[in-house]
Amino acid sequence: MEYNGQIEQLAELIETHENVYALTGAGISTDSGVPDFRSPGTGLWEKVDPIAVSSVDVLENNPRLFYEAGFSRFAKISSAEPNQGHRVLAELEAGGYIKGVVTQNIDGLHIKAGSKNVWEVHGHLRTGYCLGCKKKYPFEELVHQVELKRIPPVCHNCYSVLRPDVVLFGDPMPIFFFELQHKLQMECDFMLVVGSSLVVYPVADLPRLAKNLAIINNQPTDYDPKAVVVIRKSISSALGDLQQKLCTT
C-alpha cells in the first residue's frame, strides 16, 4: 500500500478504537537532536558500550568513570526541545484520539510538549537523588557540580554520590511498570509504536499486550509481521500527516 493510503488506514484505525496508546522510543527524538541508540553510523551504542560506562555497577564502584565517560550525553539530552512528533502526540491526546504515551525515552520531551498521561518507564532527567540518604535534587545540580569538576557530584547532607533518576543497566524497572502492563492488557485495543526498535525488554514485550498494532519506525522490527500498518518514513512528517488526516475526517 502506498504511503497516503497507509496514513488514511492508520487514521481510520485510531478513530475506530476506544483505548489507543502510543509507545515511543529514541527515534521520535532524533529530530530534536537526540541521537538514537541503534541507527547504523549514528547510534549512541555504536560509539560506546553503555554497560561499560552507564550501569549501576559502574556508578557504585567507579563513579568517576560514570560521570566522566557517560554523563555528558545525559546533560545534552536534558537541554533538548520537543519536535513536531512530540507535539502531535500531545495534541492527539488533547483531542481524545489517544489515551496517553508510554515512552522508553528519558529526555522528558513528551511532557515538555504538553502530553499529560505519560509513563516514563526508563525514568527522566528532571531530578536526581543521593545514593546515601535518598535526598532529591534537581538534575541541574548534578550538571552544575560536574561542570565545576566536582566529580562525582555529592549530596550536601551526607556527601554520598548523586545519581540521575533514570533506569540504568542493572536497575529494576519502576513499580508502576508492572501496573502499566496490567492496564495495557486490560484496556489497550490499539497501540501505535513510534520510533522504537522494540528490542529492549521488558518494554519490547508491551506491544504483545495490545489487541491491535501499528508501527512507525525507520528500521524493521520483530513485530512488523503482527502490525496492521507499518510505515517507514520520517517520524515527525508521518505523525504530522496523520494529524492532518484525523483533523479533516
- Whether 40 and 116 map to the same domain: the answer is no
User: CATH number, domain at 51?
Assistant: 3.30.1600.10
Spatial separation of the C-alpha atoms in residues 63 and 54, rounded to whole Å: 10
- Whether 64 and 10 map to the same domain: the answer is no
Domain span at residue 16 reads: 1-33+82-122+172-249
Tell me what pLDDT residue 42 has.
45
Let me know if 144 is a catalytic residue.
no
Spatial separation of the C-alpha atoms in residues 21 and 73, rounded to whole Å: 29
Write down which residue in 112, 137, 166 finishes a domain: 166
Owner of C-alpha cell 511498570: 177
DSSP bridge partners of 214:
192, 229
Q: Is the pTM of this model over 0.85?
A: yes
Q: Give CA separation, 140 vs 81, 102, 189, 205, in Å.
A: 16, 25, 39, 33
- Whether 185 and 249 map to the same domain: the answer is yes
Tell me what pLDDT residue 75 has.
85
Which listed residue (17, 86, 110, 122) is catalytic?
122
- Whether 72 and 17 map to the same domain: the answer is no
Q: How many domains does the chain have?
A: 2
pLDDT in tens, the chain (249 residues): 799 999 999 999 999 999 999 999 999 999 999 876 554 544 444 555 666 778 999 999 999 999 998 788 888 888 899 999 999 999 999 999 999 999 999 999 999 999 999 999 999 999 999 999 999 999 999 999 999 999 999 999 999 999 999 999 899 999 999 999 999 999 999 999 999 999 999 999 999 999 999 999 999 999 999 999 999 999 999 999 999 999 876
- Whether 98 and 148 map to the same domain: the answer is no
- Whether 198 and 243 map to the same domain: the answer is yes
Spatial separation of the C-alpha atoms in residues 212 and 209, rounded to whole Å: 9
- Whether 3 and 92 map to the same domain: the answer is yes
- Whether 93 and 153 map to the same domain: the answer is no
How big is the CA angle at 95 (ends 15 and 30), to the nearest 5 degrees?
A: 90
User: CATH number, domain at 99?
Assistant: 3.40.50.1220
Question: Are residues 169 and 125 in contact, defined by beta-carbon separation less than 8 angstroms?
Answer: no
Write down which residue in 166, 190, 223 finishes a domain: 166
Tell me what pLDDT residue 1 has.
75
